[in-house]
A and B are shown apart, each in its own frame.
Chain A
Amino acid sequence: MSQRSLSRCQLHNLHLAQARRTVLEHLEGDFQPGAITALIGANGAGKSTLIQAIMGELRPINGEVVCTVPKERRAWLPQQLALDLTFPMSVEELVMTGSWPSHGALTGYCAAHYRKGREIMARLGISHLAHRPLGELSGGQRQRALIGRTLMQEAELLLLDEPFANVDSETVDILIRILRQMADDGATIIVVLHDMDHLQRLADEVLMLNGGHGRWVAPSALTDHHSPAQVVPFTLGGRHAGSA
């Protein structure tokens, strides 16, 4: 992947609304290549709204999102519950759909694509699940397969919505490693996070949304206010507990 010093994605005086209600105002920002930005804020603070705007799914009321990454190299990993994972598709097939940008809807996969797919599954530790239907996987295994798809896609801008919710600790370790590798290769990564421990391990920068405004802070600045002990019960009791 090409390393560019110019920022991939900028927010200029962004004003976003959902159903005519202002969610975010006067938002400025700059997402650098190779940087992992954590997006934090309470429920309803506008994290998902901002992600929609960056993906080009929501038109700003005012201001603009300047994104130099072509649409097919932007990957959005929604929360797992948004996907129909009972669809009869195997892990390998899901990973392979990520190769879409390189050959579109009509051409078949070639041997090189399959080889790349197998390498990606090996990196994620899901090679043994290649032919398993998605519906039979655990939350962590599904999340790895979905990340596999974005690796296949060679995503340059990756947005993840709570990727560690409902996921085992081994998967968290693997995903953190893989995301860091992707960033080192020049990808721009934006992650919605709730857990301070994950944030400390992953984020280079933090965009905190609160009361309709955004504030950029350094990850280290957050540790003074939150000890891990305070945060853990909050994440364990999250909305995703118990499913899958």
Chain B
Amino acid sequence: MLDLLNAWLISPFDYGFMRRAVVGGLALSLAAPPLGVFLVLRGMSLIGDAMAHAILPGVALGFLLAGFSLPIMSIGGVLFGLMVALLAGAVSKMGGQREDAAMASFFIISLAAGVMLISIGGSSVDLTHVLFGSILAINSTALLLIAGISTLIVVTLAIVFRALVVECLDPLFLRGQSRRSGWVHSVFLGLLVLNLTAGFQTLGTLMAVGLMMLPATSARFWSKRLEGLIGIAIVLAMVASTGGLLLSFHLDIPSGPSIILLAGVGYLFSALFGRYHSLAAKLRRKTTPLAVEQGS
């Protein structure tokens, strides 16, 4: 029994690439879910997806200029992601169009541009790699980059946390309190872009958003408190990223999709059996006496 556990859970980490991958995954799991929780609470769940597409041309340009160098590709991704976010904000400020509509337009342009750039300069293997990630490619530089970005995100989030909370609940109150309240939104979008850039190495540009959103949406079924949501989302992300890596190792399947699918299983389980708003909770509620119902 112990041997089996050892073979399944411990021995894969004899390999250096698995060790680096799991550390990278855990670092991402610490930084991504809190961002996802705020996205969900602000009703901006799909913005993460849009931003993930938006970084692609930058990553592709970095790839064309410097080959498969994670730092260069990341810088390209961050610059391009921020540019798209700014452009979308500018278009919506010009009037007429809402930010999500502008964002939707820009991200699909970005996706096409990115795919085009990679196809011109590289092979279809490169394209798959950028789109879906590969744990094998995480070297020490990449790991340092991922850990550095994750640290930056966690620290920055801690600093802007209260402003972010107040902005979610009542933007007018924040605007009254602080002359520079606009920066809260910009900082938040910046963190989002940074996080997606850090994530694309393990998970790929398109999957990176999964580690951000799925734990956050699952956590909504388990807690009604902000700290609870963030804590649960982080734990779920850690379990999914470690478990997904192990599955991909043993079953010889791609790492990105297996991590995200495991998180997806967690989401379905939460939707069925979670404490709040899940199917099970709805069934339980039906049998609650009327008097208790009215009390809530």
Contact = CB atoms under 8 A, between A and B. Distances in A.
A87 interface: yes
Given A71-B179, A100-B177, A88 B166 contact: no
B260 to A, nearest CB: 25
Contact of B169 (A71, A74, A89, A105): A89
A88 B226 contact: yes
Interface size class of A (residues with CB under 8 A): 20 to 34
Given A72-B176, A105-B178, A133 B225 contact: yes
Given A75-B176, A88-B224, 8 more contacts: A71-B176, A72-B176, A87-B165, A88-B226, A89-B226, A94-B169, A100-B178, A106-B159
B229 interface: yes
Contacts of B179: 71
Interface size class of B (residues with CB under 8 A): 20 to 34
Contacts of B178: 72, 100, 104-105
A112 interface: no
Interface of A: 55, 57, 71-72, 74-76, 78, 82-85, 87-90, 94, 97, 100-101, 104-106, 133, 135-136, 149
Contacts of B228: 88
Contacts of B176: 55, 71-72, 74-76
B162 A97 contact: yes
B224 A133 contact: yes
Contacts of B225: 88, 90, 133
B163 A87 contact: no
Contacts of B223: 88
A94 B170 CA distance: 10
Nearest to B37: A88
B172 A78 contact: yes
B170 A135 contact: no
Contacts of B165: 87, 89, 97
B184 to A, nearest CB: 9
Contacts of A149: 173
